[in-house]
């Protein structure tokens, strides 16, 4: 049996040590290719970062603001969009910190056709 799949999904993951970045510095976390269709964005605090927050941006658009990084846990960002040109998902921290790690996950599709045989 031959089957054609017309969209392929990709999961991009980036672990970030927040102590390496300055206040208001845009962290280029994940690059997105042309025509990517974003389905899901998650920001997980894997190690507490202190009393700071983070904004998540795509290009110049803020998709989530003031995510608390003081408590371990996962924040699912309710956002889906088709991206025309290559861009990146950026994280901006509210302040400098000397500890903490976060993980950004982005699930997206790219238009393509793959032939599979079973």
What does the pLDDT look like over 67-117, one tens digit per residue?
999 999 999 988 888 888 889 999 999 999 889 999 999 999 988 888 888
Residue ranges making up the domain that contains 101: 2-117
State residue 89's pLDDT score. Answer: 93
State residue 79's pLDDT score. Answer: 83
Q: Is the pLDDT of residue 7 over 80?
A: no
| Beta carbons of 112 and 10 less than 8 angstroms apart | no
CA-to-CA distance for 115 and 45, rounded, in angstroms? 38
Summarised one tens digit per residue, pLDDT across range 44-72 is 999 988 889 999 999 888 989 999 999 99
CA dihedral over 70, 74, 80, 85, signed as positive or negative: positive
Please count the other Cβ atoms lying within 10 Å of the Cβ belonging to residue 45: 21
Residues, the chain:
118
Q: Is the pLDDT of residue 5 over 90?
A: no
Burial 67-105 (b: 16+ CB within 10 A, else e): bebeeeeebebebeeebeeebebbbbbbeebeebbbbbb
Q: What are phi and psi of 96, to 5 degrees?
A: -80, 140
Counting the structural domains of the chain, the total is 1
Q: Is the pLDDT of residue 19 over 80?
A: yes
Which of 62, 55, 71 lies closest to 104 in space, CA to CA? 55
State residue 15's pLDDT score. Answer: 96
Q: How much is the average pLDDT of 22-43?
A: 91
CATH number of the domain residue 103 falls in: 2.60.120
């Amino acid at each position: 049996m031959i089957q054609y799949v017309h969209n392929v999904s990709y999961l991009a993951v980036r672990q970030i040590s927040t102590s390496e970045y300055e206040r208001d510095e845009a962290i280029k976390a994940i690059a997105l290719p042309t025509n990517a269709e974003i389905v899901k964005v998650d920001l997980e605090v894997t190690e507490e970062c202190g009393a700071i927050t983070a904004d998540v941006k795509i290009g110049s658009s803020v998709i989530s603001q003031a995510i608390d990084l003081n408590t371990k846990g996962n924040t699912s960002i309710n956002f889906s969009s088709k991206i025309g040109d290559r861009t990146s998902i950026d994280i901006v921290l509210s302040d400098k910190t000397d500890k903490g790690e976060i993980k950004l996950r982005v699930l997206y599709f790219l238009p393509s056709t793959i032939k599979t045989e079973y």
